[in-house]
Homo-oligomer: A and B are copies of this chain.
């Protein structure tokens, strides 16, 4: 699936841009004119709720596409978690090209359904009732996406994680400690985590509970 995306198709249409830490890439409600591909760094999609709380809908890592909306407006804001480089692609260009180029049209449908899948997985994650299980699931997902073996270098703060999992920072922090005490992980620093025992983590996370894909 990854090789299906020819550099020529996207990089060719995109413009490289850089964003500093915590800078907004686009805002909720803005017209969704462009879509984006992370080159380096990390991005979060977030919404501010009426009560002042914040919800982080997704984290985007290098290689990920974001900003893809079916409607006319962005439903979330996007912010740079770290200094990052992003490829910006005009939606109109892409759609126009998709009309004639079957490959681009197919790529677009793949990306869309991947995003839908991500949304559904996130919904299932929020149904996990115990905090350590959500955190375990989060860690496993991150480890897979970062493809860095068992050493996970988190780019986001505890607050970001908490707002993603629907928990408080205190609970996230506590969950990390609890999981560490089982020996499943080791926190070499606050944002560097080594997965010591993946099966324990998996059992925790609710591959025991969710219907596995």
Which A residues are closer than 8 A to B by beta carbons?
Answer: 28, 47-53, 55, 57, 69-71, 75, 109, 112-113, 116-117, 119-120, 122-124, 126-127, 166, 206-212
Contact = CB atoms under 8 A, between A and B. Distances in A.
Given A69-B113, A71-B116, 9 more contacts: A28-B211, A47-B211, A49-B211, A50-B207, A50-B211, A51-B209, A57-B120, A116-B119, A122-B123
24 contacts: A47-B211, A48-B211, A49-B124, A49-B209, A50-B208, A50-B211, A51-B206, A51-B208, A51-B210, A52-B210, A53-B127, A53-B209, A55-B124, A69-B113, A70-B109, A71-B117, A75-B117, A75-B120, A116-B116, A116-B119, A119-B120, A119-B123, A123-B126, A127-B166
A119 B118 CA distance: 11
Contacts of A53: 127, 209
B51 A113 contact: no
Nearest to A206: B50
Contacts of A166: 126-127
A109 B208 CA distance: 36
Contacts of A52: 210
A151 B49 CA distance: 29
A138 B206 CA distance: 27
A113 B50 contact: no
A48 to B, nearest CB: 7
